[in-house]
């Protein structure tokens, strides 16, 4: 389960309390705030809720009988039964039942999501993950990598949410498997990029060879070699060949190449590469065409070249960069 800006165990506790009817008003607000963070959080909650509802018809908790049984077992050293007020009895069982539900939910979620916590996660900037086998994974912003507990024993399995560039060390006896919600990629030793979205996955192979399979149908598979790019679309359930954009993985290579490229397209690449919102003060600027190549340059350096080339001014407005000027005809 991928949790947006929150602790997984905490969310499990909140969900358990709400489903069991023991959540406070403040806890309900906390869960509402967590659900509002992303569509993925809402989907996970609905999935857990369905599991809970389908299980509830088979599980009955008789708290009174259980309490009576427990009361008969609580003895003082002198053989007297310890008296407990009914209010304490009610609270005890209310929280005991909630704790039991939390435990059951936790076990169910562990079976459904054995890699509930990401081992590596990126937020505002890419993160380079060094794996135990020597492989390196560069996670793009807003991405997460889950590594199985027994990684590098008999196999090497990871799960990706988002986008990452993999540089896999060759160990033929230990296949490297990358899983997303839609596909699974198997490699021996290669480098490739995976970009996952809600309805598609894009794979670009830079070196070596990989096999890509649909997650729910292993017979639906393709093999890719250096220079290949494919797109798997969820609705069509098929792989489509595609042409690689020279700047498609610039976020990883930090190499940008533009050949008479309209600034509207240049800005799109810069936004993805540097995770920065950029806009124009007027539409004429978007028509200007840029021819340039940048190697490992900061966004400030790239924008400075653009501003000098087209006589533009750079204005920073909170999280937004605005390019101002007359533009091009």
The residues spanned by each domain of the chain are 8-112, 120-241, 250-324
Q: How far apart are CA 202 and CA 214, in angstroms?
A: 13
User: Would you say the CATH fold of 250-324 matches that of 120-241?
Assistant: no
pLDDT computed for residue 104 by the predictor: 59
Of the candidates 289, 248, 242, 306, the one whose C-alpha atom is nearest the C-alpha of residue 272 is: 248
Q: How far apart are CA 233 and CA 36, in angstroms?
A: 27
Fold of 120-241: Jelly Rolls (2.60.120)
- Please list the ranges in the chain whose pLDDT falls under 70: 1-13, 20, 36-40, 43, 50-116
For residue range 303-312, what is the model confidence (pLDDT) as tens digits? 999 999 999 9
CA distances from 246 to 162, 181, 275, 276, 298 (A): 20, 27, 18, 20, 18
pLDDT computed for residue 130 by the predictor: 93
CA distances from 263 to 259, 275, 323 (A): 11, 17, 10
For residue range 156-174, what is the model confidence (pLDDT) as tens digits? 999 999 999 999 999 888 8
Supply the pTM of this predicted model.
0.63
Question: What six digits make up the tokens of 224?
Answer: 């890719």
Top-tier CATH class for 250-324: alpha beta
User: Hey, which residues does 256 pair with through a beta bridge?
Assistant: 294
Helices (H), 75-230: 86-112
CB atoms under 10 Å from CB of 169, counted, come to 16
Q: How far apart are CA 73 and CA 213, in angstroms?
A: 57
């Amino acid at each position: 389960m991928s949790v947006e800006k929150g602790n997984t165990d905490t969310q499990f506790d909140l969900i358990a309390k709400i489903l069991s009817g023991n959540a406070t008003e403040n806890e309900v607000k906390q869960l509402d705030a967590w659900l509002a963070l992303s569509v993925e959080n809402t989907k996970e909650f609905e999935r857990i809720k369905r599991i809970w509802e389908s299980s509830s018809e088979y599980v009955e908790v008789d708290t009174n009988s259980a309490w009576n049984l427990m009361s008969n077992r609580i003895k003082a050293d002198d053989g007297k039964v310890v008296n407990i007020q009914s209010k304490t009895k009610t609270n005890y069982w209310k929280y005991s039942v909630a704790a039991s539900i939390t435990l059951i939910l936790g076990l169910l979620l562990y079976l459904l999501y054995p890699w509930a916590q990401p081992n590596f996660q990126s937020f505002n900037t890419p993160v380079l993950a060094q794996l135990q086998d020597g492989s390196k994974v560069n996670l793009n912003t807003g991405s997460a990598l889950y590594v199985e507990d027994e990684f590098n024993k008999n196999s090497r399995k990871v799960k990706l949410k988002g986008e990452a560039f993999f540089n896999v060390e060759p160990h033929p006896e230990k296949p490297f498997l990358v899983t997303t919600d839609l596909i699974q990629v198997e490699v021996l030793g290669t480098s490739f990029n995976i970009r996952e979205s809600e309805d598609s996955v894009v794979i670009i192979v830079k070196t070596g060879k990989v096999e890509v399979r649909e997650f729910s149908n292993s017979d639906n598979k393709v093999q890719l070699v250096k220079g290949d790019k494919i797109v798997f679309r969820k609705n069509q359930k098929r792989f489509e060949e595609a042409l690689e954009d020279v700047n498609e993985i610039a976020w990883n290579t930090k190499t940008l190449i533009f050949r008479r490229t309209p600034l509207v397209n240049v800005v799109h690449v810069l936004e993805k590469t540097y995770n920065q919102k950029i806009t124009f003060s007027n539409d004429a600027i978007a028509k200007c065409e840029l021819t340039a190549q940048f190697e490992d340059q900061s966004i400030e350096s790239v924008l400075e070249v653009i501003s000098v080339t087209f006589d533009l001014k750079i204005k920073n407005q909170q999280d937004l960069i605005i390019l101002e000027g007359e533009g091009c005809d």
